[in-house]
């Protein structure tokens, strides 16, 4: 598949890799990711000491681990962003096959760590969540199939990718992990829409999602409890949602002050799923709006660059990656303010979690590789006759 990518630059023969990477990378998106990670470390200093004390560790045990995982994630992001789209595609497909195999074996070899959902492999010194690594690989695989289906005499990629999506969603729902299942389905739907899906089919898909939700509600106590808690007009103040709601309310515009927040002492997931509640309580609405602005900026800027993309694979894969990135952030923050039922989903680059950080670094590295400036011309050049 021909590489036709965003931007018009002159080729510099013999230019070293690092200077060429720095000249062609989207520095605004890269800087925004680094700021998000810095905010995550800052919030980790506030949120994780109570949990470390409870588990018998040093006060900044989880912050140190987050810094270590973050260093690995940022290194993976930079290395991946240096790759060509063809190399990203090949490694993405290989990574998908490995992660999918790990997902299949979870019921046999995985553990739930007492949380009621078998989502992890315990390595002793750390835990690995295959679904986090499955997401970027799945986007690459689905984009490859969808792009191939647009070629003359190409394979039935749309049909195959849809069946593959259903299989993955089925395995995730069986854990149960309905949050990641919805994210996978959303990512495929976005790519399918960009690939030229008829609007009627999308309506049918929405109906199937609603039907699946009804079936899950009637057959899964885990799913039903979360939906009932979300729909209830009263919030139990002793639940995670109750603590998070109170913390956001107490924070106000400027927050109660650094280290003065109380929600971190009561929320077991204050450093992961409900990290935004810690941000709202200690730093106020100002930091929350900053986080929202950073995620929005990354998403919109990447989509604008991908709109100029000529290669269908790069356009589809990049769109899937950035939309899943933005929607995951929206889901995490939406849960904390009761806009959405609890999903158990981290805030990318801000929440604590090795699998989330490293997989997020790989995904953003792929996105940066797809949005790099290359000497191929913009899609507008093609329509104006300059790309021939």
Residue 291 burial (CB count, 10 A): 23
Assess if residue 388 is contained within a domain: no
Assess if residue 1 is contained within a domain: no
Phi/psi at 111 (5° precision): -140, 160
pLDDT digits 0-9 by tens, 50-64: 888 888 889 888 999
Burial of 267 (0-12, 13-18, 19+ CB in 10 A): buried
pLDDT at 81: 96
Assess if residue 127 is contained within a domain: yes
Residue 334 burial (CB count, 10 A): 16
108: its two tokens: 């046999």
d(CA 157, CA 317): 14
Assess if residue 6 is contained within a domain: no
Instruction: Give the Å distances, CA to CA, from 143 to 61, 102, 147, 179, 199.
Output: 39, 21, 6, 21, 19
Number of domains in the chain: 1
Percent of the chain with pLDDT over 90: 46
Nearest CA among 225, 222, 118, 217 for reference residue 171: 118
Nearest CA among 169, 171, 165, 166 for reference residue 102: 171
- What sign does the dihedral 7-10-13-14 (CA atoms) show? negative
pLDDT at 68: 95
Coil, strand or helix at 219: helix
Report residue 6's pLDDT band, with 50, 70 and 90 as the boundaries: very low
Assess if residue 3 is contained within a domain: no
Assess if residue 141 is contained within a domain: yes
pLDDT at 251: 84
pLDDT at 120: 85
pLDDT at 174: 83
pLDDT digits 0-9 by tens, 268-314: 777 888 899 899 999 999 999 999 999 999 999 999 999 988 899 99
Assess if residue 216 is contained within a domain: yes
d(CA 36, CA 360): 12
Better-scored residue on pLDDT, 212 or 369: 369
| Domain hosting residue 317, numbered range | 17-383
Phi/psi at 252 (5° precision): 60, -145
Assess if residue 4 is contained within a domain: no
| Nearest-10 Cα torsion for 292, 362, 360, 72 | -110
- What sign does the dihedral 107-113-116-117 (CA atoms) show? negative
């Amino acid at each position: 598949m021909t590489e036709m990518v965003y931007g018009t630059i002159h080729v510099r023969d013999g230019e070293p890799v690092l200077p060429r990477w720095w000249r062609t990378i989207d520095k605004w998106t890269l800087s925004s990711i680094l700021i998000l990670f810095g905010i995550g470390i800052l919030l980790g200093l506030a949120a994780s000491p109570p949990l470390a004390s409870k588990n018998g560790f040093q006060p900044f045990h989880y912050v140190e681990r987050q810094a270590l995982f973050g260093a690995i994630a940022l290194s993976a992001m930079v290395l991946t962003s240096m790759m060509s789209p063809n190399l990203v595609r090949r490694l993405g497909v290989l990574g998908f096959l490995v992660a999918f195999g790990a997902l299949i074996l979870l019921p046999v070899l995985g553990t739930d760590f007492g949380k009621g959902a078998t989502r992890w492999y315990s390595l002793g010194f750390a835990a690995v969540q295959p679904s986090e690594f499955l997401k970027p690989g799945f986007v690459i695989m689905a984009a490859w199939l969808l792009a191939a289906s647009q070629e003359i005499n190409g394979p039935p990629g749309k049909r195959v990718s849809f069946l593959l999506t259903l299989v993955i969603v089925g395995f995730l729902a069986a854990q149960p992990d309905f949050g990641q299942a919805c994210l996978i389905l959303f990512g495929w739907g976005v790519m399918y829409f960009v690939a030229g899906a008829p609007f009627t089919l999308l309506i049918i898909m929405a109906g199937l999602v609603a039907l699946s939700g009804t079936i899950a509600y009637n057959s899964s106590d885990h799913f039903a409890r979360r939906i009932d808690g979300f729909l209830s007009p009263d919030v139990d103040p002793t639940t995670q949602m109750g603590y998070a709601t109170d913390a956001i309310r107490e924070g106000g515009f400027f927050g109660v002050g650094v280290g003065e927040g109380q929600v971190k002492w009561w929320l077991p997931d204050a450093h992961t799923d409900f990290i935004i509640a810690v941000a709202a309580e200690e730093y106020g609405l100002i930091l929350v709006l900053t986080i929202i602005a950073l995620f929005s900026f990354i998403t919109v800027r990447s989509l604008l660059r991908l709109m100029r993309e000529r290669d269908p694979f790069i356009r589809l894969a990049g769109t899937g990656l950035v939309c899943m990135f933005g929607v995951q952030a929206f889901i995490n923050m939406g849960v904390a303010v009761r806009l959405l039922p609890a999903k158990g989903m981290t805030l990318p680059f801000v929440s604590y979690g090795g699998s989330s950080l490293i997989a997020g670094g790989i995904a953003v590295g792929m996105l940066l590789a797809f949005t790099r400036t290359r000497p191929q011309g913009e899609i507008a050049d093609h329509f104006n006759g300059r790309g021939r």
